Chain A
Amino acid sequence: KAGVTQTPRYLIKTRGQQVTLSCSPISGHRSVSWYQQTPGQGLQFLFEYFSETQRNKGNFPGRFSGRQFSNSRSEMNVSTLELGDSALYLCASSNRDRVDEKLFFGSGTQLSVL
């Protein structure tokens, strides 16, 4: 069974641009959540999608958005990039059938904003 796949692995953008990151969950998983990891702020929850609906949202500005498709693949978009958006963005998937369902993480997309 393939794991969680995130593309691209690395991305370099300039301030003001926008970026879209992709996440393909494990087959059969309907929940996808996104996290931002930076040296200063650590790992922070961005949002979670389940069956194409956003279920949870972290404390991030509206420039951060996401969506989920009918095949459970998810995309995350950041508009008007700022230097502080440079981070590792991690995606995780789960079945979400039980409250203690395990999360499986991808290897992340490293975004650098110049």
Chain B
Amino acid sequence: AQTVTQSQPEMSVQEAETVTLSCTYDTSESDYYLFWYKQPPSRQMILVIRQEAYKQQNATENRFSVNFQKAAKSFSLKISDSQLGDAAMYFCAYSSGSSNTGKLIFGQGTTLQVKP
């Protein structure tokens, strides 16, 4: 069975600084997708970034980028120029590439605090 682990329950960063959130996963599949979701106090899960396992290139979305190390099964999220609005809980998630998009396996989450 696939598992996702986020070892940092809480992180904090100064506004305008850079922070990296860690995520490791375990799978025997070769085809899969990895995601970072943000959950602000409104509780709505918002997709931050997505990475296809077959792509060597790390995904980037504006100030958000990932460091995808397939062999190490590591998928970290880097937030550059942190803003107050980035404060939220961040979840790393896994989806099998061979089937269903509706089933995501989530990590336990990392609460990010952004200090002004």
Contact = CB atoms under 8 A, between A and B. Distances in A.
Interface of A: 31-33, 35, 42-45, 48, 50, 55-56, 58, 88, 90, 92, 94, 96, 98-108, 110
A102 B47 CA distance: 8
A33 B108 contact: no
Interface string B73-110: 00000000000000000010000011111111111110
Of B33, B99, B102, B109, which is in contact with the most chain A CB atoms at under 10 Å from its CB? B102
Nearest to A34: B102
Ranked nearest first, the 5 interchain pairs of A and B with the lowest CB-CB distance are A48-B102, A33-B102, A105-B45, A43-B106, A107-B44
Contacts of B108: 42
A44 B106 CA distance: 7
Nearest to B46: A105
Contacts of A88: 43
A105 B102 contact: no
A94 B101 contact: yes
A101 B109 CA distance: 22
Contacts, number: 68
A102 B98 CA distance: 15
Nearest to B52: A100
Given A33-B103, A55-B102, 17 more contacts: A31-B102, A33-B102, A42-B107, A48-B100, A55-B100, A56-B100, A58-B103, A99-B97, A99-B98, A100-B33, A100-B52, A100-B101, A103-B47, A103-B101, A107-B44, A108-B43, A110-B43
Contact of A45 (B46, B50, B104): B104
Contacts of B99: 99
A92 B103 CA distance: 10
Of B45, B50, B97, B101, which is in contact with the most chain A CB atoms at under 10 Å from its CB? B101
Contacts of B42: 107
Contacts of B100: 48, 55-56
B116 to A, nearest CB: 26
Contacts of A42: 106-109
